[in-house]
Structure 1
């Protein structure tokens, strides 16, 4: 079957999402913006994963890369909670800044904040992968035009071990966001001076761009999570959970589904397409908020110079030029 109508467009968007997420990493690392760094890392990893899948399985369902698929579905699952978890850490940090009473933040407090963010954004997605394995019916599916896809058994424990967590994270993040807005409204007169004295790398403008990014992620994550729960509950019957052996019966199989089948599955097809497009959209939304700042433009320029350096011809040394001019005159 020929590739879908958006075939060149989707991998291009994924590649751009990967590039735009990776380039700003240095200055966010310097600013100890761990939540933002994890947001960029999960977005970049998810975009790269989808880019590879959309190229390899653009027009086939061959099980040509089983090891890659095992890695790919776990990236997909971990990123589904890693990105909203990163947004939660951003909102949590903004809340702490909005309610801070002390001007100075010690290095110990920064390290403590980094460890907490790492637990939320890295450790929890790893634990989530273990929980999902409990309800993973078989190794994976291969969807033409999509690629490797997790095979989650639709049973009652699935909603508690897998499906509900993006919604839970989004709800907690929304509570932090509302509390931050309330705190800012109460302290709006002293807030700008507090940022100038406390956070050398976090300006007033960057604070609100971070808040806008986190709010946008909440507005996307929460409806998507609700839609996913509704879709799983209605698209296919919920099977009873009998036992571990029953759920993992014939676990080693790989189901291969041509595009003509899964694209004709109605609402389920909309959910599959929406779930993959949301990843590059998150990366591009990040770029929209941070890609046009002065520090971003400086780093894009540095990256462009580094990429094009091998293709630029080095200027010959001045002595070489003068020696050759003298030789040409002697021939004249």
Structure 2
């Protein structure tokens, strides 16, 4: 069965990988750790999906088991890493809106970065580790899609795997509401803080808020819809025991497209899941890709790529110098 999304999907996935990563340097300079983690997870997810969609186009072979072990963990990590990064953005916006002083010390910045790292890195790692409890075998390989986690559809899976994006999104909603409330109450202090902070402008603050709110509006409905698809697509079985779940654990199921595409609910679920990564990347680009800092980085990246081929950026014309005599 032909993949109607090829080559459109790998093109969008690669563009998502590139476009969301280029603005990273100036966000690092501004200590925007939540935004940086959002870019990193979105870019990594897009790159992973790009490789899978190209390598496994038209086949369900198993040329690289090690890559699949890495790939499925990137998929699982990104499913909570991106919402977690959005949570950190909302949390930072709330801290800015409710700030008591007009300046933040370096120690406070380092503490905020550490907290964001725990939420955006340590939590996804812990989440990935917990998936082995409901992982029935090593992984599946689906023709045209590539490596996929093999999670049993049990009630325990919903608590260990599926509920976390929704829960993180709901916490983000709370921070978002608190940010708006604090902003309305403390507009004078907020303006003073922005005027003393060179790395954050009012436009960038509201773009961050729009990005976080958009991610919330995408994450909660999509995650809820995927849960509904899993409940109606196949029966929910009992989690009997560790030994029962992991019986013959090291097997790898290779499924041709003609088989997995016969289940409409499953097709809809996997397509929603894999298109969400480029969507997050393009949403980020839509809010930050046209800013002056981003345009500067795009130009630098473009000339860096074409420079080995003999192309050079145009030189700025210097104004004529007039020398007065006498």
Question: TM-score scaled to structure 1, two decimals?
Answer: 0.92
Query: Which residue of structure 2 lines up, in the alignment, with residue 75 of structure 1?
Result: 74
Following superposition, the deviation at residue 313 of structure 1 comes to 6.3
What does the per-residue CA deviation read over 1:204-231, in whole Å, with 9 as the maximum and x for residues that have no partner? 0000000000001000000111112212
Query: Which residue of structure 1 lines up, in the alignment, with residue 209 of structure 2?
Result: 211
Query: Which residue of structure 2 lines up, in the alignment, with residue 327 of structure 1?
Result: none
What is the DSSP-based 3-state SS (H/G/I as helix, E as strand, rest coil) of the residue aligned with 1:43? helix
For 1:222 and 1:257, the matched residues in 2 are separated by 30
Query: Which residue of structure 2 lines up, in the alignment, with residue 273 of structure 1?
Result: 271
- Is the counterpart of residue 137 in structure 1 residue 133 in structure 2? no
Query: Which residue of structure 2 lines up, in the alignment, with residue 168 of structure 1?
Result: 167
For 1:244 and 1:227, the matched residues in 2 are separated by 28
Query: Which residue of structure 1 lines up, in the alignment, with residue 283 of structure 2?
Result: 285
For 2:75 and 2:5, the matched residues in 1 are separated by 21
Question: Can you give the 5+ residue segments of structure 2 that lack an aligned partner in the other structure?
Answer: 313-326
Query: Which residue of structure 1 lines up, in the alignment, with residue 234 of structure 2?
Result: 236
Following superposition, the deviation at residue 187 of structure 1 comes to 2.3
What does the per-residue CA deviation read over 1:95-121, in whole Å, with 9 as the maximum and x for residues that have no partner? 000000111211110110011000000
Any runs of at least 4 consecutive aligned residues in structure 1 with deviations exceeding 3 A, and if so which? none
Query: Which residue of structure 1 lines up, in the alignment, with residue 154 of structure 2?
Result: 155
What does the per-residue CA deviation read over 1:69-106, in whole Å, with 9 as the maximum and x for residues that have no partner? 00000000000000000000000000000000111211
Following superposition, the deviation at residue 193 of structure 1 comes to 3.2
Query: Which residue of structure 1 lines up, in the alignment, with residue 30 of structure 2?
Result: 31
Matches within 5 A, 1:18-167: 18-167=17-166
Aligned length: 312
What is the DSSP-based 3-state SS (H/G/I as helix, E as strand, rest coil) of the residue aligned with 1:136? coil
Contact 2:137 2:250 in 1 (8 A): yes
Following superposition, the deviation at residue 192 of structure 1 comes to 2.7
What does the per-residue CA deviation read over 1:232-259, in whole Å, with 9 as the maximum and x for residues that have no partner? 2221111111110000011111111111
Question: Can you give the 5+ residue segments of structure 1 that lack an aligned partner in the other structure?
Answer: 315-332
What does the per-residue CA deviation read over 1:8-55, in whole Å, with 9 as the maximum and x for residues that have no partner? 110000000000111111000000000000000000100000000000
For 1:288 and 1:13, the matched residues in 2 are separated by 14
Q: How much is the aligned-residue C-alpha RMSD, in angstroms?
A: 1.2
For 1:264 and 1:31, the matched residues in 2 are separated by 49
Following superposition, the deviation at residue 189 of structure 1 comes to 4.5
For 1:231 and 1:188, the matched residues in 2 are separated by 44
